[in-house]
Amino acid sequence: MPRLIFCLALLATSATAFTLRSWTDAYTLANNAVVQMTLDEKAGILTGVGQFSSRCVGDTHPVSRLGISSICFQDGPAGVRATKGVTGFPTGINAASTFSRRLLRARGVALGEEFRGKGVNVYLGPAMDIMRNPKGGRGWESFGPDPYLNGEGAFETIVGVQSVGVQACAKHFAANNQEHWRYGASSNLDDRTMNEIYAYPFYRSIDAGVTSIMCAYNRVNGTSSCHNANLLGNNGLLRKHGFMGYVVSDWGATHDTAAENANAGLEMEQPGDFIVIGGGVYNNLISGLKPAAKSGKISSARLDEMVSRVLAGWYRLGQDTGYPSPNFDAQHSDGSGSLNENVSVRSSAHTALAREIVSASTVLLKNNRLTLGTGGPTIRGLPVATSQVKNMAVVGLDAKMPGKDCGDLNTCNKGTITTGWGSGSNSLEFVVPPIDAITAVVGDSALISQSLSNNLDDGVAAARGKDLAIVFVNANSGELGAYTVVDGNMGDRNNLDLWFKGGSLVERVAAVCNNTIVVVHSTGPVRMPWSNHANISAIVYAGAPGEQNGPGLVDVLYGAYNPRGRLPFTLNDDESAYGTEIVYNSLGFPNIDYTEKLLLDYRYMDAHNIAPRFEFGFGLSYTTFAYSGIMTSFTSSDGKSTFTTQFTVTNSGSVTGTEIAQLYLSFPESANEPRRVLRGFEEVDLAVGQSKQVQIALNQRELSIWDVASQSWVVPLGTFTIHVGASIKDIRLTETFTSLA
């Protein structure tokens, strides 16, 4: 077999200049096009060409005589899916772990460059589904259980992607939080919970100027998300928050008639034909868009509005001039077929960025470091000092190269985890597994005994008496649907256990090696009842980091990169500590009542005084940081008031490092908010002994609750407390202020 040879395409890094139009100008152009269109042409723009005729995962019908191309939609949130020559970026949950607007934005730009380089018009992401339950199958595609962190992740990603002229698609609206029964389960939630938790990141997407939003498979309050005027209509949540773009259905998420969907606020249906259940309603010959428009069930004004909204996003991002056409074929993800031009959109800059994000998202949970004298090399714990380790072991299936397909076949679980499975998975073509990266950094300095399976006896034999044993363990999850059930997990995980007896592997190895370092790759929280074991000198939570898995991790383990990642969720051994459940068994589509309301993750544990194993926002560094001098102030300009908190962070340790300073807010008691909520974070790079002043500004919405009576964001009256610190449990500074009437 000949090796694949890719053209060296510079598309990804050049020719991305375009002129961003205002919405007004974009709508003028869109409306001008719409008035010239026939009904067939209009319907063709609102309907995908069908899943198996589609070159991308979704394509609209072009209107060539008006210069309107087919619009190409492609998965997914962490890289271009179903093609070769792309970067497998760190997943959303890892991007969240960086708590870095800079890296979230840079990741968005790089994603945008690769989607553009492949000729994709619409990046199907970011996902911003709240991780309502830690076992939720697709939680890793998004930014965790906190709405503020999801909102910032969504905002920066969208601004980044759209900055190179690629449309983003905020998904999945709304309350799409488990895989079991997803095609019809009803998420039943009150107005305040919807606005403050589940819709909140979509509002940040609107702030970012997102051109499209995807409605979800599930129902909300009994009505399909794609046929839900309370969500999508002109008086619904999105439009009331200023959404200017179009709503596209999740693939096959239209369950009702064309007129019902269109009149409720759906603009586009994808992929345009029948898929899984439902779908294909717009192109139905009897009840589809055209008959409904002819009979007046869809007014001509509404039909034109739908088409205008789709085209406005395309014009706004300048996709009408010089936009590359697709050069790949999602139907042949292996590069075969006559349509694949085998264009590589990878670059050394993207690889370096992916690797940096892996390092920045790696969370150091425990480090019982022992050094040879003060400031001497490390004998136990991290960073590993190569001079002190002569014999070491690498143990666990998760250290080795996975199978290369994390889509339908899901062989990607047979090795290290870089991504969950399903449509949010990305390319594993260039994965560098931990064992390769460790072997490279260790070189001749030590002998490495390998046991790259989870066989307990083999692992013990490899680790016994070694100066160091690094144990790799994991847990995975993914998407239901056309995708495989993995190890009995139907998308959602069945429990919080490590897979393949990972917990036992850790305990058995730790019993024979007094310098055991545990690395966890997982799509979400896992149990770690062994974390206090005396022989476990360090624990690293590495998430689902994408293709640069090994190199980014080794930079942290061997001290080239000082860890600064933070948990974007709480780790607790007990599932009941999370206060929500996945509904696995049901006679027909279940009603899922969000009775926990605002109390998710740390908010629930705070309310019930449940101690976490490792708390939200937690993560260690090889240095230490001190906080001082908190001050707060209100400023007002253009009728908008901003509340600013200022404080100083100092690197009080002995190596350069980055602190993630976090701001949690306590509302006045009368507001009935959770005890503390995340409302700000800032990465602070500090040399040894250096101090920097940090400012975190909160705008009006960030100081507000959703007021159901007035249907608006209202700052409650009374005394607020600002908590500033290194995690939700490690508060270093507090200050109170009173809101003004």
Ligand X SMILES: *[C@@H]1O[C@H](CO)[C@@H](O)[C@H](O)[C@H]1NC(C)=O
Catalytic residues: 250
> Are 418 and 431 within 8 A, CB to CB?
yes
Torsion angle, alpha carbons of 349, 354, 360, 365, to 10: -150
**Closest distance of CB 526 from ligand X, Å:** 21
84: which 2 tokens? 């070769």
46: which 2 tokens? 């609102």
> Are 145 and 198 within 8 A, CB to CB?
no
Comparing CA positions, the residue from 378, 398, 318 lying closest to residue 121 is 318
**Closest distance of CB 456 from ligand X, Å:** 15
Comparing CA positions, the residue from 16, 86, 47, 50 lying closest to residue 327 is 86
Q: Which is nearer to ligand X, 307 or 509 (CB)?
A: 509
> Are 141 and 127 within 8 A, CB to CB?
yes
Q: Which is nearer to ligand X, 511 or 630 (CB)?
A: 511
Q: How many residues does the chain have?
A: 741
Q: Which is nearer to ligand X, 190 or 581 (CB)?
A: 190
Distances from the Cα of 364 to the Cα of 381, 413, 415, 684, angstroms: 11, 24, 22, 17
Contact set with ligand X (CB under 6 A):
4, 190-191, 194, 220-221, 230-231, 335-336, 340-342, 465, 510-514, 534-535
Q: What is the DSSP letter of 4?
A: P
E strands, 161-304, are 167-173, 186-188, 212-215, 219-220, 223-224, 246-249
* Cβ partners under 8 Å of residue 710, min gap 6: none
275: which 2 tokens? 């898929």
**Closest distance of CB 665 from ligand X, Å:** 24
Residue 19, helix vs strand vs coil: coil
Q: Are strands 391-395 and 447-451 parallel, antiparallel or unpaired?
A: parallel
Helix, strand, coil share of the chain (percent; to 5): 25, 20, 50
**Closest distance of CB 241 from ligand X, Å:** 13
Enumerate the H helices of 512-662 as residue ranges. Answer: 549-557, 602-607
* 679 sits in which H/E element: strand 677-686
**Closest distance of CB 513 from ligand X, Å:** 6
348 burial (CB, 10 Å; 0-12 / 13-18 / 19+) is: exposed
**Closest distance of CB 592 from ligand X, Å:** 12
**Closest distance of CB 535 from ligand X, Å:** 4
587 residue type, one letter: L
Q: Which is nearer to ligand X, 197 or 512 (CB)?
A: 512
671: which 2 tokens? 């507001």
513: which 2 tokens? 């090696």
Residue for token pair 């209202």: 714
Sign, CA dihedral 211-216-220-224, equals positive
Q: Which is nearer to ligand X, 50 or 335 (CB)?
A: 335
**Closest distance of CB 653 from ligand X, Å:** 25
**Closest distance of CB 479 from ligand X, Å:** 24
- Taking the CB of residue 659, how many other CB atoms lie within 10 A of it? 24
Name the β-bridge partners of 686: 657
E strands, 306-441, are 343-344, 363-367, 370-371, 378-380, 391-395
Q: Which is nearer to ligand X, 463 or 726 (CB)?
A: 463
E strands, 182-323, are 186-188, 212-215, 219-220, 223-224, 246-249
- How far is C-alpha 67 from the geometric centre of its chain's CA atoms? 35
Q: Which is nearer to ligand X, 10 or 39 (CB)?
A: 10
Q: Which is nearer to ligand X, 50 or 233 (CB)?
A: 233
Q: Which is nearer to ligand X, 275 or 513 (CB)?
A: 513
> Are 553 and 396 within 8 A, CB to CB?
no
Alpha-carbon distance of 262 to 300, in angstroms, equals 12
Alpha-carbon distance of 661 to 723, in angstroms, equals 10
> Are 715 and 739 within 8 A, CB to CB?
yes
Q: Which is nearer to ligand X, 238 or 698 (CB)?
A: 238
Q: Which is nearer to ligand X, 327 or 704 (CB)?
A: 327
Q: Which is nearer to ligand X, 530 or 681 (CB)?
A: 530
Alpha-carbon distance of 333 to 328, in angstroms, equals 8
Enumerate the H helices of 265-418 as residue ranges. Answer: 289-294, 300-316, 348-361
Q: What is the DSSP letter of 194?
A: I
Alpha-carbon distance of 137 to 478, in angstroms, equals 5
